[in-house]
Every structure is written in C-alpha cells, then in structure tokens.
Structure 1
Amino acid sequence: MSATLPASATRAARAAGAVHPGYRTLWRWHFYAGLFVMPFLIVLAITGTIYCFQPQIEPLLYPHRLVVAPVAMPRLPADALLTRAREALPPGARLLRAHVEANPARSAEFVFALDGGAKESVYVNPYSGEVLGTLDVESRFMQVDRMLHRKLLLGKTGELLMELAACWTLVMIVTGVALWWPRQSGARGSAGGAAKGASGLAAGLATIRAALWPRFGATGRPFWKSLHSAIGIWLAVGALLFVVSGLPWTGSWGKQFKALATRVSLGAPRGAWGGGLPLQSTLPSGQNAAQNTAHAAPGNHADHAEHTEHTEHTEHAEHAGHDMASMPGMVMDDLPLPNVPWAVGAVPVPQSPEARTSPGSRWTLEQVIAQMRTLGVQSGYDIALPATATGVYVVSYFPADPKEERTVYIDQYSGKVLKDIRYGDYGAVSQAIAYGTSLHMGRYFGLANQLICAAISLGLAALAVTGFVMWWLRRPARSSRTTGGLGAPSRERAAPPMRAWKAGLAVLGVIFPLMGATIVAVWLLDRLAFGRTNNLSSS
C-alpha cells in the first residue's frame, strides 16, 4: 500500500511532471491552432461524415428520381433515353454529360446546361422511358454539402480558409500529442539506482495507460481535459492521415502541388502528351501525327504546371454550368464531370484529329457505352459529351478501388480511343494520393471504411467542442494565469531553444506557403498584441 502524499506535495509533483521546459510554448501554439480551427473542424466533420454516406443518403432523399423498380425486360438504348430527357427541358438546353449505371434499380441520369447558366439533371426510367423528374445540380443536397466541405459556399475565400484550417489542424494534432506525452518516467527512473529506475519505468507506463482513458471520476476542467486528451491521442494517427490525404484536393496548395507533381513526372500519367513519352512542358519533337493524336490541337501545348487561369476555369465549371467540354486549352479539371481522378486533373483534353476530314457522321452515346463495355468498364462512370466540332467523348471512371480508375478519350467521329489512362500509368505520387483519396472518402473497403471515417471526423468535432469547454472554464474572467483578451496560456520565463519545433514550423511554412504567412502573422501578434507574463503555474 503506497503512502499518501500531502495535497501540496501532490500538486508540486504534478507541476514538476507536467510543466517541463517548453511545455507552455507548445501549449500556446496548440491554443492558437485550436482557437482558429475549432469552427472549421465542426463544419468539416459534419459535412465530411454526410458525404461519406452519400451512396446510402441520396436514394433516401430522392427516391422517386433515383430509384426504379427492376423489371424483366431489356433497358432502352441510351440514345432513346437521352431523347426523352431532352424533351423534358426547354429547347435551348445543351447536354453536358451522362451517367452510366448498370444497377437495375437506378434511373438513367443526364445533365444539361440551361440558357440561364444553371445545370439541370434529368432522371429517366431506363425500362419505360418515363421522365421521373429533374434536380438543379448546384442545389442538390450532396453538392451543397460538398461545397460547404470544400469552400463554405464562399468561393475562393472559403476555399483558402478551409485549406488553412486543414494545415493548422496538423499543428494542433502534433502539439497536442507533445503536450499529452507523460514525462514523469524519466525523472523517476533517474532518481536512484536500477531498482528505482525499473519502478519509475513501470510507473511511467502506468501513467501512459491511465492517460489513454478519460478520468470519469473527475469534475470540472480536469474531466474535460482528460476527455480532450484521450480523444486526441486515440485519433492522432488517423486524423493526421485524414488531413494529409485531403490536402491534395485543396484549391490553392493542392492545385500547385498537382502542377509540381505533373512537372517532375510523379503525378500525371506517363505519356500524357502522346507518343508514350514522359510528360513534357512542350510537345515532343519528331513525333508523327498518329503518335500525337492524344494532344493534336493548337492551344493544348502550354505548360499547365504554370496555367494560372486554371482555378478560374474550375470555378466556372462548378458554378456557371458551362458546356465547353473538350475546348482547346482545357484540362480535365475544367470539364463538367462530378469526379475526376487526381492524377489526370491537370492533363490537357485532346481534340479530335478527324474533325476536318470526317464526313460529319458522329458516334452515338450508345456506341460509346458499348465500346466502354469492350474495354471492361460496365457501370458507375460519367461521359462528358463533345460540345464542339473538334471535341471528344471523355469518360471518367472513378471507382472505390483506385487500381480500377480509368480516363478514356474517344474520337466523336471514328470512335477511335485516343488515350486510355489507367492507374498503372500514374506517377508514384498520384498512386499514393489515389489510395489516400479513396480511404478519405470512405469508399475503399465499404461500410467499415465509412464508419472509420465518420469516427475520425466526429472525433475531431469532439476535440473542438471539448477544447472550447476547457477554454470557457479558464477564460480570462475566471483565471489570472492567462495573457491577453483571448485567454492564451502564459509564456515561460526562459523558454528553451526548441530548435526541432521551430524547424518543424519552418518546414510547414515552406511546404504550405499560405500557412507560412499565417505562422508569421500569429507569431507577430503573439509578441506584439498580447502582454507578457512570467507566471509558471500548472495547467
């Protein structure tokens, strides 16, 4: 039976173990990171969890449009269904894409651009040809949820805010783990001899085990702190992977990273410029026309790693309902497709090499679908239709298994496959990102993947809530151990150099320049706007 220490000795021992050199510096940065990301984490968590369960939610939201009763009869040809869909809209409607789904219980979907700029989905019963209804693409529940998740429905400003929130979440997680990690074991182990060292090690392991579970017997701030710490440490690895796997899709850094990966042939598929050669910033010289059909039209030879208008094109594609599929100079991310594999997002869209020589007969949608069947793709893909005389059919297959991803360009006149890009054609970076994306979206291994993603997302929201409660309980009105109006933890009297921590921040600032600017801004505000105190009381 161990002796009971006086309360004052217990507090002193706790302080000696908890407030190690550098503790308050880490706590300050953890506080600033958490203060910024709290509201964004809640939005990301809720919208991300909803989006993970899109396959289950959408049929419940729109059962009369998306769901049909299977019947023992052949489906109508795709072109006949398209005709019915076109008749349901005003004459000026322009077809953008078709979704191909072999599920006998799902309707056929066609997306049109209306004269006013809106995009409208038309749903048709594949057996009877009955038009089941329409949906505004931008007002569709999952599209609104997706845009909230990506950009808070605030356009570019919201996109940058969400990107910053993701970056600062990395700081929050790393500093949180550093603050959680018990340090009593080292002090106890060096206090006296091998026996005491072994005893100290055992005590340290016991401390770590205890720190993995909330102190349900505690009340007030100690309880919330233990709950916050336990949730954070259980989620740490998964949350880091979750954030990192989402960053390549961000609107600023993600696009720049994609361009860089494309330039060094680690992102875009090898031979994306045609001829089977590695990706180059200029058209390969000495290649004949047959070798370069995947990139034949003028205007597609630009170096898209420095395509500064790309973001604006993408915004236009998402919000303006354009019908510019396969226009010269466009890349895959510009097309009106709901999902495009990350690896091909910056790949130029080819033009028809037979636009000037063909007599005018064009392949039908049904012929394209039949051709995809011969290529081994049966269902669950989207076709962007050519909108100009030089355009091509663009097929984007974005399944749960990244190894099955396909991007196929088909000439609208001859039906010739101009390019068939598969997972094996991706660079190393894009292959890793493909798997990260599938896991991040909860698609890779079914319901279990969805539940894990939901647990991580909602766990991050719980961190935000418990962090807010902890701040509320120690806000300036109740505590004298804080600095400034925000209630930031006090500074240390003589902080250690913490070179590794500073180097880590510098690396993050270089990798994520937008975050680097905010790191400098936070440091300046911390030094100039908030008062300095030397109180070293324990947290």
Structure 2
Amino acid sequence: MSVPTSEPAASNLTPDPEPPRANWAAIRPLLLRLHFYAGVFVGPFLLIAAVTGIAYIWTPQVEQAVYARELHVPAAVGALPLDRQVSIARAEVPDGKLARVRPAPSETDTTQVVFNRPGLEPSYYYTVFVDPHTGEVRGALETYGSGQALPIRGWIDTLHRNLQLGDFGRLYSELAASWLWVVVLAGLALWLGRRRSVRRARGRRRLLSWHGTAGLWTAAALLFLSATGLTWSLHAGANITDLRSAWDWTTPSVTASAPATPGDVGWQSVREATARAGLSDPVQITPPAKPGGNYVVAQVGRSWPEKQDSMTVDPGTGQVTGTLRFADYPLAAKLSRWGIDAHMGLLFGVANQIVLTVVGIALICLVVWGYRMWWLRRPVRDGAGLPRPPARGAWRRIPGRVLAPVLLVLAVLGWFLPVFGVSLLAFLAVDVLLGLRREVTR
C-alpha cells in the first residue's frame, strides 16, 4: 500500500525575502553615478591636495638644508644662561612682544626666541635664532603656527590648506576632504561587487582594474586622511570641535593661571626646574600671560613616542606647580594627537613620509585613471563632445526601505559637513538640468 506524498499547504508558504543580490543590483547604479559625479567634479581638488600634500610632507628636510645657518651652530662646550640669550634676541626686536622661547635642544642647535610683532598676519611670528654658546644672532625669520614652520614650510602649508587665498581658499581643501571618504567607500563597494569580472582585461577595463586595485590597497589611508583633514577644515572643523567638547574629547592642558609668588626667577631657572622634574628636550617655554600667572613649559616632540608632557612653574619661587603627562591624556585626545601628527608625516619620521608619499601618488593615479576611463566612454562613431555619464534615474529602482534611511543619513551628514551638503545639492541640480536639457533636445 502506497503512502501518498504530502504537499505543504499553500497557507504555510511565505514569500522569500528579496535576495541581497537584488538589493545590490538596485543600489549599484546609484553608487556608480555618485562615484562618477564626485570623481569628475571633485577630482581637480583632490589632485591639488595630493600634490601640495606631498610637497609639504618633505618640508622638514628642506628646512634643514635651506635654513641651516639659522637652525644649527658648531658644537661647543657650555652655553650662555637662557636669560642672556633672550635679552640678546629682545635687542633685535625692540617693537616685539615676547611670545615663547625654544631652548636649543642639543649643542648643535640654536635657541629660538619667538615674538609677536606689529604687522604680521594671524598665526605668524617673528623668530630670532641665537647661538647658545656665543650669543651670536644667526638670523631672524617669520615663522608660522605652533609648529614653528619656517618660511618655505609655512608657504607650502598655507598653499595646501587654502591655496594662499585665506578662509575662502579653505573651501577647496574642505571640499576635497568632505568627498574623499564618499568616493573611497562608493568605489570600494563597486569594486568588490565586480572585482572578478575585470581581471586580465585590456583597454578601459585594464584601467578600471588598476583604478580598483590601487583604491583597494590605499582605502584605509585615504579614509584616514579624509577624517583628519576635516578636523582642520573651516566649517566641518568647527562642528567637530563642538562635538569633541560635548563628548569631553578635548585635549587637556595645565592651568597657568594658578596664583603665583611675586618676582621672577628667570628663564634659566624655570627650565632647570622642569628638567629636574623629568621634562626632557625639546621644549617650549611660554611666559605668564598676565601678572600673577605661571610659566608653561611644554614638550614639543611629535615623533614616536610622543613627547607632549607639560608643566607649570611659579615665576617667584621657580617651583613646579603642575604637571600633565601625555600618558594621562584621555584616549580620544591621544588619538587626535597621533592622527594629526601622522597626517603631517611627523609621527614615524621618514617611514611616515614615505607612506604618505606613496598614498598621495596613488591618489593622483586614481584621479587621472578615472578621468581617462571617463574619456574612453565617449561615442566611438564621431568622437565629439563629452563622454556620457552613467544612466540617470538610478534612485527610482532602490526599495523604499533602503532609500529612506540613506536619505536620512545624507541629510545628517550634509548638516554636519556643510560643504559636502551644499556641493551634493549642487551635483543634484546639475544632474536635473542635464536631464531636462536632454529631454528638450530629443
């Protein structure tokens, strides 16, 4: 006797969820169009940032060669008291207000005495370089920023930051940093989704293979440069600063306003007190900002391991009144310090510089290959006009449950990264206008 085979009841059948591959097929055209527009319009800014960034990375070596007289002296035994060196520098700048002093960290280095001076641009100082052994003034130069960038490094730094155009020029670097992470993430998704299909290809597909492989290998470094670059930006940087303050991720500092004893023991005694307390060179000494304040002595070594300890000293007694060790920084503050120094090529010395140079060259190649691939998309029959972009209307094929959160995330990012938000709206406007133009000309 045969037993009938039972069939599942129709009521027990549930529709299969939409397969992931179908979702990817709907999303991929939108990512392709986003990657295309960002690459075409932001590519020139990424090229400028990469070229000027590579130039900046190697400026420490350039400084050592060009400004050897100002920075270095013949080795000798003994040194003049730091107070005497500062007095010599003061005589060279009678109209300057003393801002800070960097004592010679070795017997072959000069002491740098830094002044605020009338007529200088914001963040610029006037620095006198004094031979610590003889008191000879080896030169005087305008320097830039807290890192004491000499003229060549300061000029390239400003070029990389704002193209020598002030705050308006900073929009270029913010635009590049705001879109770099988008281009990288969209490119990664596109490449990983079709990586096997472009191997051993020729022509445009070979360029695509190079483009994708280089992007894959440098993706983490490019995302890092984008994130750290945004911290210096004009608009997004302000939002990041506010966020760090709200989450208590700010870099701590010693309190220089503690009550001080009347009198002033002088620069030499201040440095000796901190040296006895374990503060090794190189350091920077900042005088009290107002009567009754303390000296601040801070390490300025920015290679690994970081030398970022700081102390305050009572000017009347010469006693150390406060200590802040880099080891006691919150993790977020340490990561911020390491990230900034790695971005500038300082953290691991020459190795750091080489890695950033390779990444910068890779970014240049990615942009150039991207433009070349776009050019190869032009119609072969007449070869006239610009190449065509990817097909329009990709967003209409995305399921609503996917599109809604994407739009929400883009809105939040557009608010937090204003230059990204405004430029995204501009891309959309251009896309709409091109679509209308195409409809009219049909």
| Length-normalised TM-score, structure 2 | 0.79
Distance 1:463 1:418, change over 3 A: farther
Query: What aligned pairs does 1:368-517 form with structure 2 within 5 A after superposition?
Result: 368-386=270-288, 388-399=290-301, 400-401=303-304, 404-474=307-377, 487-492=388-393, 495-497=397-399, 498-499=402-403, 501-502=406-407, 504-517=409-422
Counterpart of 1:420, as a letter, is: T
Deviation at 1:34, TM superposition (A): 1.7
Query: Is the CA contact 1:266–1:426 (under 8 Å) kept in the aligned structure 2?
Result: no
**Structure 2 partner of 1:106:** 109
Q: CA distance change for structure 1 residues 47 and 373 in 2, over 3 Å: closer, same or farther? A: farther
Counterpart for residue 41 of structure 1 = 46
Partner of 1:77: 81
> 2:269 corresponds to which residue?
367
Partner of 1:160: 171
Aligned-partner Cα distance in 2 for 1:92–1:453: 41
User: Structure 1 vs Structure 2: percent identity of aligned residues?
Assistant: 31
Letter in 1 for 2:373: M
1:445 & 1:267 partners in 2: Cα distance? 23
1:136 to 1:457, Cα distance in 2 relative to 1, 3 A:
same
**Amino acid aligned to 1:491:** R
1:53-452 equivalent positions in 2, closer than 5 A: 53-71=58-76, 73-89=77-93, 91-117=94-120, 119-138=125-144, 140-183=151-194, 207=196, 211=199, 218-219=202-203, 221-269=204-252, 294=255, 350-351=256-257, 353-354=259-260, 358=262, 361-386=263-288, 388-399=290-301, 400-401=303-304, 404-452=307-355
Point out where structure 2 has 5 or more consecutive residues left out of the alignment.
1-21, 145-149
Shift of residue 156 of structure 1?
A: 1.9
Distance 1:528 1:164 in 2: 22
- SS of equivalent residue, structure 1 residue 110: strand
Give the Cα–Cα distance (whole angstroms) in 1 for the partners of residues 249 and 275 of structure 2: 30
1:143-181 alpha-carbon deviations (Å, 9 max, x no partner): 112222222222222223322320111111011112212
Cα RMSD after superposing both structures:
3.4
What is the rounded CA distance, in whole Å, between the counterparts of 1:222 and 1:58 in structure 2? 44
Give the direction of change, closer, same or farther, for the CA distance of 1:501–1:457 in structure 2 (3 Å limit): farther
AA at the equivalent of 1:448: A
3-state SS in 2 of match to 1:420 = strand
| 2-structure distance, mates of 1:416, 1:448 | 40
SS at match of 1:96: strand
The corresponding residue for 1:519 is 424
Tell me the SS of whatever aligns to 2:26.
coil
Distance 1:414 1:448 in 2: 44
Matched position secondary structure for 2:105: coil
Count of aligned positions: 405
Q: Distance in 2 between matches of 1:480 and 1:530?
A: 21
Determine helix, strand or coil for the equivalent of 1:21.
helix
Sort the Cα spacing of 1:437 and 1:114 in 2 relative to 1 into closer, same or farther, 3 A.
closer
Gap runs ≥5 in structure 1: 1-16, 184-203, 275-293, 295-349, 535-539
CA distance in 1, matches of 2:113, 2:377: 56
| TM value normalised by structure 1 | 0.66
Change (3 A) 1:179 1:525: same
Distance in 2, matches of 1:518 and 1:100, equals: 47
The one-letter code matched in structure 2 to 1:262 is S
Are the aligned partners of 2:259 and 2:293 in contact in 1 as well (CA < 8 Å)?
no
Q: Distance in 1 between matches of 2:382 and 2:46?
A: 26
Contact residue 393 and residue 412 of structure 1 kept, 8 A: yes
CA apart distance, 1:47: 2.8
SS at match of 2:345: coil
Q: Residue type matched to 1:515 in 2?
A: F
Structure number having the greater helix percentage? 2
1:104 aligned partner, one-letter code:
E
Shift of residue 477 of structure 1?
10
Separation (CA, whole Å) in 2 of partners of 1:248 and 1:161:
14
Give the superposition deviation at 1:352. Answer: 5.2
Q: Alpha-carbon deviations, 1:109-134, whole Å to 9, x = none?
A: 11223333363221122222211112
